[in-house]
Structure 1
C-alpha cells in the first residue's frame, strides 16, 4: 500500500473517523466532568545545608546534598510526621472519620495510625532540582482542607527536626552527666595521690629545693677541686728527698742552725789542729757542735712532722669533701627522682582535670542544645487554598481525547480497509484483480449546488 492509497482510504472513511473522534472526545469530556475534583495545595520549605550550631557557633556542611534532602523528604513522609499532623488537626475527634474507620477497618487496629496512613496516601514531597528546597503537596477533594494539611505537614516537619535535635542533645547531655561522676572521681584520686606522695617525701616546692641542692652540689664540687689541689701541694711539700723534705731544708731556722754548725765546725777544726782533744776549748766547741746538731735534728724532725700532718689533714679534708659531694649527688638525684614522680602525678592531675573540664563544657553545650528549638529549616511559602482543581483537567483531557479520537478513527478506517478491501482508484483494480484498466468513466451524478454570493465566482 502506497502513501497515496493510504490517504485515499482515510479520505474515503473521513466521516467514520470524524464520528469516532467526536465520540471519544465527548466521552473523555463527560468522564472528566463527572469525576470528583481534586485540589492540590503546595507549601515550600528551604533546608540550610550549611548548618550552624546555635550554641557552639560551629558550622557543618552537608557534602551529599541530594542524599541529605532525600532523608529530609522521608522524614516529612514518615508516620511520625503524619501522627503530629493528626494531633495538630485533631482528626481523632472527627465523627465522620470515626464512622468511616468503623466501616472500612471494622474497628481493627489503631484509629490514629489509620488516620496517619490515610494522610500519607495523598501526600507528595518533591525536591526542586539539586537545590535544598522541598515542595510539600497534598491533594484532596476540599481545597481548604488540602491547604490546611499541607501547612500542617510543614509545621510537623519543623517540629520533628527540632524534636530530633533536642532528643539527640538530651541523650548526649545525659551521657556527659553520667561521665562527669567518673571523671570527677579520677581527678580527686589523682590529686590525692599527688598530695600523699608530697606529704610522704616532704616535698613543698620541688623545683626550688632541687635548685638549692644543685647549687650546694656545685659548691662542694668546687671545694673538692680546691682540696685536691691543696692535698697534692701538701703531699709534694711533705715528700722527702734523701730522707729530708725540701721544705724542711729550706726552712730559715734550719738554715740558721746549719750556718751556726758550719761556723762552729770551722772553729772546731782549727782548735783540733792546734790543740788536742783534752783542751778545754776543744771540749767546749765539741759540746756546742753536739748541741747545734741536736737542735738541727729536732727542728728538722718537728718541721717535717708538721708537713706530714698538713698533708694528712689535706687528704682527710679531700676525702671528707668527696664523701659529702657523693652524698649530695645522691640527694640531688633522689630529689630529681621525687620531682619526676611528682611531675608524673601532677601531669595525671592535669589530664584528669582537662578531661573533666572538657566533659563539663560539652555538658553545658548539650544542655543548651536540648533546650533550644532552633532548626535549619525555613518555611518559604505557606500553602494557600487552590482556586482551580488539579484533577481532572477538563481542557487537557478533552484535548487528549480529541487527539486520541482522531488516531482511533484513522486506525479504525485503515484496519477496516485491511480486512475488507475496496476499490477506490484504477490502480486498485490492477493491484487486486490483476487486469489492466482499459478506460475510466467519469461519475454522472449531478454536481452539488454551491452557494453563490454576488460578486464572487
Structure 2
C-alpha cells in the first residue's frame, strides 16, 4: 500500500524538466501568460518613454572633414629632420586622432572662431575659470575653460578602418556651424603640427648651443682627470717598479727573519717541555729552561738532602731533626716547581709574540698585494678615462656638426598630415535616428518586460499547480477549491455564502471540487478506513474553517453521519458560523460538565452535527493531550461515519500537531498563489516530526478562470473544456 507522508527529504524538489533537462515550453508559456499584464505594463512604459524621448529630441547635424596622415616627405634638404617623419603603424594614427581631439587643439579653435562668445557655448563658459591659451603667437590671450569643454564634448575624431585617414566631425543644432567648426579643427591640427616642429627646431638650436659649450669643457676636463687619476691611485713608478712592488719585496725579507726567530723560540719551548715530562735532574732541567734560579734551588736542595742522609744514619728516620729536614726538602720542591712553571710561561709568551709578529708581517704583505692588485685594476680605470676623453671629443665634434645642420634646416618644416576633404554643410540631421531609436526602444521594452516577468516569477513563492505541489513539497494534490467568484453566476456571487452555495448548487464546479477532495481524502489510505480528519494549514486566512464546514455539509447531504469539531481555541471560527449563542461546547464536554448530546448543534441545512466551543470556556492549554480528548474522539468515532477537526494554523500554535497524531489523516491546505513555499515546508516538517499522516495537499481559493488560462499541467487548466458538465 503506497501512502504519501510529509517526508522532510522530499521537500527540496524542483520543477521537472521533461525535455532532456530543458524546461517544458508549454509550462514557460503558461507562466508568461500569468505575468502578461505585468509584461505589458513594463514593456509599454519603456517603449512609450523611448517614443517620447525621440519625438522631443532636438535635431542635430554632424559635419565631417577628413585628414590624411602622410608619412612621405619631400626632402628639400638632405638632412635628418629635428622631428623625424611618422612611422606607418596603427598606433601612431590612433594617437594623432587623439591629438586632434585634445584640449590644445580645442583652445585654438575656440580662440580662432571666438566660440566663447557664441550663445551655444557662452552659457557653458559663464563663471568658468579662464586659462592661458597655450598656442604659438597667443601669448597673453585667455579662453574660458567651460567653452573649451563644451566644444570638445560635441567634437570627435576617429580613424577610418585601417587607413591613414582620420574623420574629424562636429555635431551641432546649426548645420553651418557644424561644418565651420569641423574644418577649424582640421586646420588647427595642421597648424599645431607646424608650430610644434618650428618650436622644436628653435628649442633644439638653443639646446645645441648650450651643449656645445658644455662638451668643450668636458673635453678639457677629461685630460686633467687622467693625470689626477694616476696620482690618486699610485700609478707613479720609480726604478722600474711601482711603490707597491717595492713594499712587497721588503716585507718578504722581514717575514723570513720573523719565521726563523719563531722557529727558534718554538724549539726552545719544545725542548723544555720534553725535559720536564721526562723528569730529568735539576741540572738538565735548568739547562733546558736556561734559568739560574732553578740551578741555585737545585744546589741548595742537594745540600739539604746530604744533611738529611747524615741525620738518618745517626738518629734514624723518625728523629725530629730528620722530620724538619724533610719539610725543607718539600719547600725546595715547591719553589722549584713554581719557578719551572714561570719559566715555561715566559717561553710560551715569547713563542706567541713571535707568531703574532709573523702573522702581522704576512697580513701587511697581503695588504700590499691588495694594493698592487688595486693598482692593476686602476690601470683599467685609467684606460677607461682615456677612452672617455676620446669619446667626449667625438661627441663634441658630432654636436658641432648637428648644430650646423639644424641652423640650415630652419624654416623648412612640413606637416605630417594634410586635409583631403573639408566638411560640407549637412542637409539632413544625424540625430535623432527615429527608426533606430524606436527599434532600440522596442528591444529594450521587450527585454525590460521579460526581466520583470522573470523577476516576478523568481520572487513569487506561492504554489499554483499540482505539479508545483508535487515537486516542491513532495506531496500529491488532493484537490483544488475554487474561489466562489470564479465559478458562480453573477447573480449568486453576492447573495449566497460559499457553504450555502454548496447545497443550493450541488451540480456546480464549486460543489464538485469538494466531492473530488472528499473522495481523494477518504481513499488516501487504500483499504483502511479514514474516519477522523484534521484540517489545517500553515498560516491563517487560508480557508480551513470554510473547507471543513463545506466537507461536512457535503458528506452529510450524501447521507453520512458527520460531525464537525471546532478545535481552534483562540478564534472559534467554526462556532461563529452557527446561529445563536453557544453556552456549552467542547471544553464542557471534556471537563465532564455536559454530555455529547448536550453540546452537539445540528446544521439544519445539511444534517451535519457541529461540536462548537463556548465563548470564554478555555482554561487548560494542554487540554488536547488529555485522556478526556482521547475518550471524546473514541466516542465520536463510534457514533459518526466522518469526524472533521477544524484546527488552528500549524505555525501559530502547537495544538494542531497534537490533534494531527490522533487523526487518521491530515488535510493540509494551501492558499492558491499566496502561501509562501518556505512556510509550507516548515509546517510539513513539523507534521512529519510529530508522526502525522499527511496524504496530500489541497489548494484553496483558486481562481479557476486564471488557472485555466495560466495553470498548464493542472486539472483546472482544462476547466473551459469540462465546464459544460457543471450547472449553476
TM-score by length of 2: 0.32
Structure with the higher fraction of residues in helix conformation:
1
TM-score by length of 1: 0.48
If asked which structure has higher relative contact order (CA below 8 Å, sep 6+), I would say: 1
